[in-house]
Amino acid sequence: MQLILPDWPAPSQVRACTTTRLGGVSTGPYASLNLGDHVGDDPACVAENRTRLRNELQLPAEPLWLTQVHGIAVAEERGGCADASVAFAPGTVCTVMTADCLPLLLCDRAGTRVAAVHAGWRGLLAGVIEAAVTRLGVPAAELLVWLGPAIGPDAFEVGEEVRTAFMTEDAAATTAFRPSPGGRWLADIYALARLRLARCGVTAVYGGELCTFSDAARFYSYRRDGVTGRMASLIWLAV
């Protein structure tokens, strides 16, 4: 199983990683470590993949699998419809699934609380990052954030309406868009997330270099493939 470990100065009791598509039993467009049970893959394969993940990471509990809806709800201790989750003690494994959208992992410098966030452009615009930062309940200067694999700025093409929506809320968002043929735009979801975090007062931000769209060997990409699997980004506090 190939995992990506955040390169950030988190306390030792904070454990975090993002999966790749390598190391599971799924086949076809889901090959091989698909962790999404909502994308059409064989449920038995998904279950085996999730078991392998738990064993590989020696997780203290089943990951907090969410039903992600591109909203701003933040879950705690139990799943349901939400696009972020938080934990304030060992025993909860905050988890989000992605295949182009941006996963963010957050912790405080003291290592007492963690969060995982799923942010596509709709969630970013709606304020899912702000909702998670607020729920963590510590000064923004005390937070560390890692940006996991997402669709890169050379591949994420959007319409004028997306650019306008972000610029209406923050004029600085213009720096996150480059012209693309046909009157469309290339959006930098990493830059948009950094702008949102900065507005919250969070400046200790790491990661943001990996593109799911351009690396088919390691990552699922919905924009590239349509029918595909899902990676997971997990963060928890060690017991």
The number of distinct structural domains making up the chain is 1
Cβ atoms of 212 and 220 within 8 Å: the answer is yes
pTM: 0.96
CATH code for the domain of 26: 3.60.140.10
Domain span at 182: 3-237
Q: Would you state the structure tokens that stand for residue 171, as one six-digit string?
A: 């004029």
Cβ atoms of 86 and 115 within 8 Å: the answer is yes
Could you list the pLDDT tens digit for every one of the 239 residues in the chain? Answer: 999 999 999 999 999 999 999 999 999 999 999 999 999 999 999 999 999 999 999 999 999 999 999 999 999 988 889 999 999 999 999 999 999 999 999 999 999 999 999 999 999 999 999 999 999 999 999 999 999 999 999 999 999 999 999 999 999 999 999 999 888 999 999 999 999 999 999 999 999 999 999 999 999 999 999 999 999 999 999 98
pLDDT of residue 43: 98
Distance, in Å, from the CA atom of 141 to the CA atom of 154, rounded to the nearest integer, reads 31
Looking at the chain, which runs of residues are DSSP E strands? 3-4, 14-19, 63-64, 66-67, 74-76, 80-81, 84-87, 93-98, 102-108, 114-119, 143-147, 157-158, 177-180, 184-187, 205-207, 231-237
pLDDT of residue 33: 98
